[in-house]
Amino acid sequence: MKELKIKTHICEVHMDELTDTERDLIAKAIEATNRSYSPYSHFQVGAALLLENGITIMGCNQENAAFPAGICAERSAIFAAGAEYPDQPITMLAIAARNPRGVLQSEPVSPCGTCRQVLIETETRFHRPIRILLYGQRCVYVMDGIRNLMPLSFTEF
């Protein structure tokens, strides 16, 4: 048997260590949490992505009684970007969430497995990693590319 060690690279930073663009994108992700339709989980997730052309797209989770007919915040933003700007690569994605009491999460939240796979597909499509900002009140996790959260991906570029 051979044991393999898989490494990822995630930076834990404070908001004041981010660029203005990164802070603005996080603010939009936080704003998007207020647009969430989450009557079942009461977990409001917001996402904001920045396209290469400078346009920002926001998304939020949308739940449905006919589970799994809803959609996560990340995928709602990615699919909206793909519908409106199909030739524009995503350069950065920020994600924020509120707990069932409506309070912003103290720790960063990460995308679900399905969203991670969609992010991998998006990076593969455009042949470039997406800078990902996972917001929490205590800190922000920053990574260059979804493979840092899903290193054994289904596809590669």
CA distance 49 to 58: 6
The span from the CA of 121 to the CA of 97, in Å, is: 23
CA distance readout (Å), 136 to 70, 106, 122, 143: 24, 5, 24, 14
96-120 burial, b at 16+ Cβ within 10 Å, e below that, comes to bbbeeeeeebeebbbbeeebbbbbb
Residue 107 token pair = 């720790």
Please check whether residue 153 is in contact with residue 115, taking contact to mean a CB–CB distance below 8 angstroms: no
DSSP symbol at 146: G
| Tokens linked to 133 | 């900002």
| Positions marked catalytic | 74
Q: Are 82 and 126 in contact (CB under 8 A)?
A: no
